[in-house]
Amino acid sequence: MGEKRAKSAAAPPAQGVPFEQALGELEDVVKQMESADLPLEQALALFERGVELSESCRKQLSEAETRVEILMKKGETVEASPLDTAEE
């Protein structure tokens, strides 16, 4: 049981993992849970890691969505102002 806890403790915190890496690891966790007859402790450790990774991905997507919305709003204000072609 200590070995499984050490293994999950060795994994980096999900918050610091780049989105693509977190998503890939989450896919691996799902595959492991679907394909293996796991002992309860290992299944719980994988589930916990999956929840961490899922929350990290959700948070990063939410932050990206907010950034896109801000950029789109900035773009709307730029598009709304007339282009001054008289100076050319």
CB 50 within 8 A of CB 33: yes
pLDDT at 75: 77
* pLDDT tens for the chain, residues 1 to 88: 444 443 444 577 877 899 999 999 999 999 999 987 899 999 999 999 999 999 999 999 999 999 999 998 887 765 555 556 665 4
Nearest to 4 by CA among 54, 50, 39: 39
pTM here is 0.68
Q: Does domain 2-76 have CATH number 1.10.357?
A: no
Nearest to 30 by CA among 57, 60, 12: 57
Where along the chain do its domains lie? Answer: 2-76
CA distances from 25 to 33, 46, 55, 64 (A): 12, 11, 13, 20
Residue 24 has which token pair? 């890939």
